[in-house]
């Protein structure tokens, strides 16, 4: 009969491969932290910590109107996203892909995430919406398109949230990727008009989260268990 130490060694190996329970993405619904610290301003990024703008000025909407644009939308944007209720909580982020002096622009934002497990498969989930009612002609619009949102991990493209099928309606989107080997991890969302020629688009994200795929955890665990048994047996442990 094999000694109990074999089981202990295998269990320890499995535990070492367990993905951390801490959420990888922080503040995925933008509910905490300061967005503007006063009245909202289209010239200031509305990205509460740990989110930061990486290109131009994404806008924070807050249905309560406390720290962001309320249900009336952005007045100077012809009330962009007027009446839009957040998918999760009270806040969401709106950002644009459009044309400025005939040059394409793409607003974007990112955060430094909690650590990932290299080689582990993860899925990024979010709720996505679009206001394509032809508003904000003076601000890189009019926004008549239903663009897409590119997802980047450590600056590398891993997938795209596809275009919405309806106006002013939250739709679920997801992207799956394998975590690279790195000392730290960032996730970035980049607004895009999609394949050109395309129309300027103003989109929103809310309820962003990231989850490890269970299948890869089990596969890693099974491999670790087998490796642990082989290593233990090679050390001269007793066998049945």
Mean pLDDT of 43-52: 97
Name the token pair of 150: 């590119």
User: Which of helix, strand or coil describes residue 72?
Assistant: coil
Q: What is the mean pLDDT of residues 51-70?
A: 97
**Domain boundaries in the chain?**
20-213
Contacts with 144 (C-beta within 8 Å, 6 or more apart), sequence order = 132, 133, 134, 199, 200
Percent of the chain surpassing pLDDT 90: 71
In this prediction, residues 230-235 reach a mean pLDDT of 47
Strand (E) positions, 52-147? 52-55, 59-62, 91-100, 103-106, 108-112, 121-130
Q: Is 29 exposed, middle or buried (0-12, 13-18, 19+ CB in 10 A)?
A: buried
C-alpha span between 23 and 98 (Å, rounded):
33
Selecting from 3.40.50.720, 3.40.50.300, 3.40.50.620, 2.60.120.260, what CATH number does the domain 20-213 have? 2.60.120.260
71: which residues sit within 8 A by CB, 6+ positions away?
Answer: 63, 65, 82, 83, 84, 85
pLDDT value at position 6?
A: 41
Percent of the chain's residues with pLDDT above 70: 80
Average pLDDT of the residues in 79-101: 95
In this structure, are residues 28 and 35 in contact, taking their beta carbons and an 8 Å threshold? no
Phi, psi of 114, deg, nearest 5: -65, 160
pLDDT of residue 157: 98
Q: What is the mean pLDDT of residues 62-69?
A: 97
Span of 69-73, 154-158, 201-205, 222-226 with lowest mean pLDDT: 222-226
Mean pLDDT computed over every residue of the chain: 85
- For residue 122, give both structure tokens: 């993860």
Structure tokens at 48: 């509460």
């Amino acid at each position: 009969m094999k000694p109990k130490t074999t089981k202990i060694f295998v269990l320890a190996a499995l535990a070492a491969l367990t993905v951390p329970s801490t959420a990888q993405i922080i503040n995925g619904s933008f509910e905490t932290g300061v967005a503007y610290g006063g009245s909202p301003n289209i010239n200031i990024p509305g990205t509460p910590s740990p989110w930061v703008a990486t290109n131009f000025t994404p806008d924070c909407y807050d249905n309560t109107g406390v720290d962001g644009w309320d249900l009336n939308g952005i007045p100077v944007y012809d009330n962009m996203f007027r009446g839009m209720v957040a998918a999760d909580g009270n806040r969401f982020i709106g950002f644009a892909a459009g044309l400025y002096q005939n040059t394409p622009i793409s607003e974007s934002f990112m955060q430094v995430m909690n650590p990932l497990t290299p080689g582990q498969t993860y899925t990024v989930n979010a709720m996505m919406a679009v206001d394509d009612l032809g508003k904000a002609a003076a601000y890189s619009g009019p926004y008549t398109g239903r663009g897409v949102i590119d997802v980047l991990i450590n600056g590398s493209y891993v997938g795209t949230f596809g275009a919405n099928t309806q106006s002013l309606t939250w739709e679920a989107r997801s992207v799956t990727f394998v975590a690279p080997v790195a000392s730290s991890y960032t996730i970035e969302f980049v607004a895009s008009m999609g394949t050109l020629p395309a129309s300027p688009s103003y989109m929103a994200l809310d309820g962003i989260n990231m989850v490890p795929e269970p299948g890869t955890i089990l596969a890693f665990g099974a491999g670790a268990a087998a490796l642990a048994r082989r290593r233990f047996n090679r050390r001269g442990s007793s066998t049945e």
